[in-house]
Amino acid sequence: MNIPFARRTLGRQGLVVSAIGLGCMGMSDFYGPSDEAENLAVLDHALDIGVDFLDTADMYGVGRNEELLAKVLRTRRNDVVLATKFGNVRAANGDFLGIDGSPAYVAAACDASLKRLGVEHIDLYYQHRVDPKVPIEDTVGAMARLVEAGKVRYLGLSEASGATVRRAAAVHPIAALQSEYSLWTREVEDDTLRACRELGIGFVAYSPLGRGFLTGAIQHANELADSDWRRQNPRFQDGNIDRNQLLVQAVSELARERECTPAQLALAWLLHRGPDIVPIPGTRRVTRLDENAAATRIDLTLAEQRRLDDVLASHEIAGTRYPAAGMANVNA
């Protein structure tokens, strides 16, 4: 007998999603070559087991990731809670051109995503990064007009500060904020997560497995493909990666005691941070998808949660989560 997959509510407007989603970025970009047939198998299997919250963005693969999802959406649109993003502008060759939150770009980007996805509406539409040149009120106002037009159901922000979230929510209800949150990235707890809870906004945690590092599968950056952007990530650099392995080793030891994998423990920890949190780990393998999904069935005791907190407090993370240019655009 199939057990219904756990569900969670994001925001106060009625958006219900699977308790763990699927980040689709790595299927088309940033993490080296991938196989389309295998990616499609992962997407179909996710929907088969009840992981219906699929996360993409127009910048992933310069539109190719949305086009990949379109191949599943053609026949399974009603099975999907579809989230995509706009704001990070890239040239056709992949070069980054900056951030655009202007009202005209909001409208054009949405239409382009709808066309690539082959759908009539987007369930959750995020501003991918805050544009410092455009008042957030103007950007969210343009996003609100997409809701009025029936092109978007719910609005979201990504990597926005608590102050920006409050300003945005004064213009139109925000269903979710998506930011990095994991065992080795907890900065959101000091500001953004607090603002979300004040306003009843759900929190979507991207990179909940530390870009794969918290699984224990990555020992050295030279194990990664030449085109894998993690080679440029400060936390994966020589010296830093060795120091960060100490955290992974400690988490792995706790996972062995709990008879689960480090990935499952990391996801279960996030799920226990509050019922308003939905992690969206990415994967290109069905086996990893099943492993991640099983984290929803792990019930951590308060004592186990405290032990994890103690482990985190005793291991300082080495390196920022992005290079300097990327750090300039987070928590904005």
pLDDT digits (tens, 9 = 90+) for 269-300: 999 999 999 999 999 999 999 999 999 999 99
**Residues paired with residue 147 on neighbouring β-strands, in sequence order:** none
The CATH homologous superfamily for domain 7-215+263-298 is NADP-dependent oxidoreductase domain (3.20.20.100)
What is the C-alpha R_g of the chain?
19
The per-residue pLDDT for 31 is: 87
| 3: confidence class by pLDDT, cuts 50, 70, 90 | low
| Banded model confidence at residue 163, pLDDT cuts 50, 70, 90 | very high
For the stretch 103-151, pLDDT in tens is 999 999 999 999 999 999 999 999 999 999 999 999 999 999 999 999 9
pLDDT digits (tens, 9 = 90+) for 22-32: 999 999 998 88
Select from 87, 21, 100 the least CA-distant residue to 59. Answer: 87
Query: Would you call 34 exposed, middle or buried from its count of C-beta atoms within 10 A (0-12, 13-18, 19+)?
Result: middle
Q: How far apart are CA 279 and CA 260, in angstroms?
A: 18
Confidence of residue 65 (pLDDT cuts 50, 70, 90): very high
Q: Name the β-bridge partners of 53.
A: 81
List b or e across 200-221, with b for residues whose CB sees 16 or more CB atoms inside 10 angstroms: bbbbbbbbbbbbbbbbbebeeb
Which pLDDT does position 1 carry in this prediction? 38
pLDDT at 2 over 60: no
Whose CA is closest to 332, among 156, 137, 165? Answer: 165
Positions marked active-site: 60
Domain ranges of the chain: 7-215+263-298
| pLDDT digits 0-9 by tens, 206-243 | 999 999 999 988 888 888 888 888 988 999 988 899 99
Which residues lie below 8 Å from residue 34, measured CB to CB, with a gap of 6+? 26, 27, 28, 284
Supply the pTM of this predicted model.
0.96
**Measured between alpha carbons, how far is residue 228 from residues 28, 95, 206, 231 in Å?**
12, 16, 18, 6
- Give the chain's mean pLDDT: 95
**Each residue's pLDDT tens digit, 164-180:** 999 999 999 999 999 99
Read off the pLDDT of each residue in 63-82 and give the average, rounded to a whole number: 98
The pLDDT value given to residue 33: 87
Looking at residue 49, its pLDDT comes to 97
**Whole-angstrom distance, CA of residue 197 vs CA of residue 212:** 28
Q: What does the pLDDT read at residue 225?
A: 87
